[in-house]
Amino acid sequence: MIDLPANFIVRPYRGVSVQRVPSVEPTALRERLLGRRVYRRTEFVVAECGGERAVVRIERAEGDGILVPVRDAEVVASGDEVVFVDDERVDVGNATQLARAALGAAAAGARIHVVQGRFQHVNFIVDPQPLTIRVVEAVPPQPPKLLEMARAMVEVDEDLPPIAFELVAIDLRTLIAQNPAPRYLLPCRSGGIDPALPVEFLDEGPADDPSWTLVGCERSREIHVAMYGREPRERVDFCPRVRVPDDGSTTLSRCCLLERGIERDGGQMLVPWGANLDEVRTALRLLCGLPAEPARARAVQPEPLGAHPAAPGSVAGAAR
C-alpha cells in the first residue's frame, strides 16, 4: 500500500469517484478497476461493499476522451484503516471541516476518514493533524473580531490545510482590575465592559481628566498626546506584541501601528486593527506556507454539446 501524507485531501474533490463493488479485498479490487475506464479527472476511487470501504489511487492512461482506461491502480487503505463519516454539515472541499469531522469520529487504527457531506458529496482526509494557529487578541468583545474573521476565511479558502485556532485573550477587564485608578480611558467602546466602571472613551474626545489611566497601546498614547497636549498620567499597554511576545509559535495578531497591509514579525503575522477579510486571509495563507494569492482558475472555452457521445457499457467514475 502507498503512503499519502498527513492532512492529504483531494483537491478538487471531483477527482474522487465513489463505486459499489463486489469486494474490497485489495487484489480483487485492483483487478476489477484495471478492466474499466474512468472519467478523465478521476484520481481516487472510494470503493464500498457491504459497509466496508477501500481507497484506491488511480493512474490514468493518456488520452483526450471523456473516459480513459485505468493504467494502474493501487490500494491506499482498506479494512479498519478506513472510517466512514456521514455529516451533511461538512463542505468536503474544506480541509478544516474534513479534519473536524474526522477527529470527531476518530477510531482506533483509522488512517483515512471518508466523509460524505453536503449534497452527499464525498472526499477523504488522511491522518488529520490540524495546524495550530494562536490568535492573540484583546477582549471584550467575546469572541473577538479577529478570531471570527479568521474562522470565516478558513471556511472559504479551499487551499488552506486543516487549522485549529487557539485564542490567547488579553482581557481588558482583568487589566483594569489589576491597575486601580480613579478613572480609566479606553480607546473605544466595546461590549462587555461594565457600564458602572468610571470609564471614558478616547475616540469620543472627552474633557481632559489628569487622574485617568489610559488603557491603550502606543497609537492610543499618540492620539492622547495630540488631543490633550500631554502624556497620560499612567498607561496600561495591552498591545499583543507587548503582552504576548513572539516565541516562535504560529500566531495571528493585530497592531494599531499598522494601518494597511500585513507584516511578518518572527513567527507571527500582524494585520491592522481595522483589518479587512482579504488581509486576514492573506496572513493565514502565509502562515501556512502558501502563496499570498489563491491560484485563479483559467478561463476555458466550453465544449460543444455532443462533443463526447455517450460511451457504451458501464462508466467507472462520475464527474463530481
Q: pTM to 2 decimals?
A: 0.86
Mean pLDDT of the region 142-149:
95
Cell digits for 207? Answer: 474633557
Percent of the chain clearing pLDDT 70 (strictly above): 91
Q: How many CB atoms lie within 10 A of CB 51?
A: 6
Q: How many CB atoms lie within 10 A of CB 251?
A: 24
Nearest to 176 by CA among 199, 154, 153: 199
User: Cα Rg for the chain, rounded, in angstroms?
Assistant: 27
In terms of Cβ atoms closer than 10 Å to its own Cβ (0-12, 13-18, 19+), residue 117 is buried
Query: What is the CA 36 to chain-centroid distance, rounded?
Result: 37
**Distance linking the first and last C-alpha atoms of the chain:** 26
Residue 296 pLDDT level (bands cut at 50, 70, 90): low
**Residue 215: enclosing H or E segment and its boundaries?**
strand 212-215
Q: What is the pLDDT of residues 168-215, one digit of tens each?
A: 999 999 999 999 999 999 999 877 888 889 999 999 999 999 999 999
Mean pLDDT of the region 12-27:
96
